[in-house]
Amino acid sequence: MRVHRKQPFSGDQPILESIADGVFTIDLDWRVTSFNRAAEKITGTPRKKAIGQKCYDVFRASICQTTCAMKRTFETGEEIIDLPVDILNTRGDILPISISTAVLRSPRGKTIGGVETFRDLSCIEAIRRQLTQKFITADIISKNPAVLKILETLPAIAESGSSVLVEGPSGSGKELVARALHTLSPRSARPFVAVNCSALPDTLLESELFGYMRGAFTDARQNKPGRIARAEKGTLFLDEIGDVSPALQAKLLRFLQEKEYEPLGSVKPFKANVRIVAATNQDLSLKVEQGTFRRDLYYRLNVIRLKLPPLSSRREDIPLLVGHFIQRFNALMSKRIQSVSVDVMSVFMRHHFPGNIRELGNAIEHAAVLCPGSQITVAHLPEDMIRLPSKAEFEVLRPFPQDPLKEAEAQAIRGVLAKHNGNRRRTAQALGISVVTLWRKMKIVGY
């Protein structure tokens, strides 16, 4: 089928290009026929790529496959004004927008397509999050004092350009912190390049980092720039740095000291202007004492150290993270999930989460796939999360195994907290106690 690519509104094009709202039009086959500059900016999709595509492939909105606003306008002829929806931009970020739709007619009154305008609500959403005390920085979501302290220091650390070592268990958000440092830094317009040091053997990791020259080995038919070259004037994120071998540690040390490197097969060094952020789930200071990690490299990396706590130490963040993941998977899967049941929140609040935030996200994704309605129930959770604990695990989970009265009080507090999504003020009101008393009792029962 030939796609009509001529853009309508040619006389109004300067006006459409100057407004802050995104505007696009579609034909009766749902293909995009025009796409203004604001639409490009909001979605991250270039006009040339958008035109001719199905609109739902461009926007990936939360309503595209279920209750499409444009489809409703086509069917009823009625305009829709300021409908709030979520879309995914080209970076995979959830973006809140409001949309308005109308039928597009020819001079003779025949329906030839539709027009939709949309407005970025990110700023309004940011204000709303502040008012509801949802602290979010570059997808790092927390009310935990230790994490908030880290977030408060990120702008100053990002501005400094110093090497940063991020410590924390797997799945705790170390790469999010690294990306936030890059985004907040003067290098934000340049590349952020990540490499997992534990995923590759030494020889491959060396060529990935430093690159190689033509003829360096049998299959090297052309020059290949490494991750360091690709991160020039940007940020290089060395994930799982604790798994690097002693031989490669020496080459990394020289790179950090001299700010230069030699690709494989090169006869001369190359200068590099790269900011280093490293991460590890191991205790590097212990590895230094054991002699498996170079002390001088450790100090080069550990100019500034940020230590992320496990999710089990920041349970007050679980309701916030649950809401965040529900919103994300609603957009990805075109779902309309509104909440989780009290029992599900109780499972989450008691679970140890050895996989930390990644494990919680995986659990919500699993549940979102199985959930047909608006609320996730225990039946939708992964089996290993809702299995009965062993006797040893049960004893750990029970704060007061020998005191049934205290155990009952602990269960009541957990249940009411889950019902109110972790909100302490509303929980205290529901229990008929002060917030201070609730806080003291929460500490006793292990929160």
Of 68-77, 240-249, 382-391, 411-420, give the lowest mean pLDDT range. Answer: 382-391
Residue 336 reports pLDDT greater than 80: yes
Query: What SS3 class is residue 142?
Result: coil
Residue 165 reports pLDDT greater than 90: yes
pLDDT of residue 249: 93
Neighbours of 127 (CB within 10 A): 10
Does residue 357 contact residue 141 with C-beta atoms inside 8 Å?
Answer: no
Q: Residue range 420-440: average pLDDT?
A: 75
pLDDT of residue 1: 33
Residue 231 reports pLDDT greater than 60: yes
pLDDT of residue 3: 38
Higher pLDDT, 360 or 80: 360
Does residue 73 contact residue 114 with C-beta atoms inside 8 Å?
Answer: yes
Q: Residue range 57-75: average pLDDT?
A: 78
Of 256, 305, 317, 314, nearest in space to 280 by CA:
305
DSSP codes of every residue in 120-134: E-HHHHHHHHHHTT-
Of 3-7, 253-257, 359-363, give the lowest mean pLDDT range. Answer: 3-7
pLDDT of residue 309: 93
Average pLDDT, the chain: 82
Alpha-carbon distance of 209 to 366, in angstroms, equals 35
pLDDT of residue 175: 92
Kindly report the pTM of this predicted structure: 0.60
Residue 7 reports pLDDT greater than 50: no
Residue 418 reports pLDDT greater than 80: no
pLDDT of residue 280: 95
Q: How far is CA 146 from CA 198, 313, 317, 432, in A?
A: 28, 10, 12, 29
pLDDT tens per residue, range 166-214: 999 999 999 999 999 998 899 999 999 999 998 888 778 888 898 877 7
| Cα-only R_g, the chain | 26
Identify the bridge partners of residue 150 per DSSP, sorted by sequence position.
none
Q: Residue range 371-381: average pLDDT?
A: 91
Higher pLDDT, 236 or 395: 236
Q: Which CATH class is domain 136-307?
A: alpha beta
DSSP codes of every residue in 334-369: T----EE-HHHHHHHHH---TTHHHHHHHHHHHHHH
61 phi/psi in degrees, rounded to 5: -80, 160
pLDDT of residue 360: 95
Higher pLDDT, 234 or 435: 234
Of 209-223, 371-385, 391-405, give the lowest mean pLDDT range. Answer: 391-405
As its CATH architecture, domain 313-444 has: Orthogonal Bundle (1.10)
Query: What SS3 class is residue 151?
Result: helix
- pLDDT classification of 138: cutoffs 50, 70, 90: low
Does residue 365 contact residue 329 with C-beta atoms inside 8 Å?
Answer: yes
pLDDT of residue 399: 43
Domain ranges of the chain: 10-124, 136-307, 313-444
pLDDT of residue 33: 92
Higher pLDDT, 110 or 440: 110
pLDDT tens per residue, range 12-25: 566 677 778 889 99
Q: How far is CA 18 from CA 39, 117, 418, in A?
A: 11, 14, 47
pLDDT tens per residue, range 104-123: 888 888 889 999 999 888 76
Q: Which CATH class is domain 10-124?
A: alpha beta
Alpha-carbon distance of 302 to 296, in angstroms, equals 10
Residue 434 reports pLDDT greater than 90: no
| Cα-based torsion angle of the residue sequence 380, 385, 387, 392 in order, rounded to the nearest 10 degrees | -160
Residue 389 reports pLDDT greater than 50: no
Residue 362 reports pLDDT greater than 50: yes
pLDDT tens per residue, range 40-57: 988 888 999 999 998 888
Q: What is the DSSP letter of 280?
A: E
- pLDDT classification of 376: cutoffs 50, 70, 90: very high
- pLDDT classification of 335: cutoffs 50, 70, 90: confident
Q: Could you give the percent of the chain with pLDDT greater than 90?
A: 36
